[in-house]
Amino acid sequence: MRPEPRLIEVRRNVLKQNDVVARSLRDRFRAAGVFVVSLVSSPGSGKTAFLEKTLTLLRPSYRVAALVGDLATENDALRLARSQAPVKQITTGTLCHLEAAMVESALQEWDLNQLDFLFIENVGNLVCPSSYDLGEDLRLVLISVTEGEDKPLKYPTIFHSADVAVVTKVDLAAAVEFSWETAYNNIQAVRPGMPVLRLSAKTGDGMEEFLSFLVARLIELREAAAV
């Protein structure tokens, strides 16, 4: 029998190490009562636009903050900072995903007890982020109408790693002849029962439903902690 290639061993160890850090992050999030939401999608699906809108709408009533990952530039952090929420950019250099240790290090100067919601925008990529737990409570996978309806079928792993799918840029649906029914069926084929939201960060359509969903989850988390 041939020995397992060394590369696979190294990757396994990195993933295991990530899980240890993610578990410790999750414990800290639980202790602080902060609800943590991460966003994954291909580049340009609208993560930052959606997050900026979310931060802006939540901020009057909730304590919110965001981390955002990209290979390079502070551009997304600057856009998110327009919401007036505390924001930090994580630049990954050549890595196509965020790791739990990067989140841990970015949070060093923040007091989690002062937050209700923490959002983490992952690097735009439909493959790499799926294997890395960041200690989040909820992982959203976004697909924009301009990407076509087949992404769940082509990239099932990221849909398996997420809790809720969000179809974005619905204001452009007619222009690109996007079929909601086909997209919905494709998501359900890959991940039966997955909740699917549809919205537009541009027009605000669907944002109210999303925010109600988030707030309900925060209340649930706090009630569970109180028991």
Ligand X SMILES: Nc1nc2c(ncn2[C@@H]2O[C@H](COP(=O)(O)OP(=O)(O)OP(=O)(O)O)[C@@H](O)[C@H]2O)c(=O)[nH]1
Which stretches of the chain bind ligand X, using CB under 6 A?
Answer: 41, 43-49, 70, 76, 124, 168-169, 171-172, 200-202
* CA dist., res. 160 & res. 173, Å (int): 25
Residue 180 beta carbon to ligand X: minimum distance, rounded to whole angstroms: 15
Residue (71 or 138) nearer to ligand X, CB: 71
Contact pattern from residue 22 through residue 51 relative to Mg ion, giving x for each residue in contact according to CB under 5 A and a dash for the rest: -------------------------xx---
The DSSP symbol for 115 reads -
Contacts of 139 (CB under 8 A, 6+ apart): 37, 38, 39, 40, 161, 162, 163, 164
E strand segments, the chain: 35-40, 64-70, 87-91, 117-121, 138-144, 164-168, 196-198
Residue 117 beta carbon to ligand X: minimum distance, rounded to whole angstroms: 18
Residue (53 or 218) nearer to ligand X, CB: 53
Residue 210 beta carbon to ligand X: minimum distance, rounded to whole angstroms: 12
Q: Which of Mg ion, ligand X, none sits in contact with 41, Cβ below 5 to 8 A by type? A: ligand X
Contact 47, 142 (CB under 8 A): yes
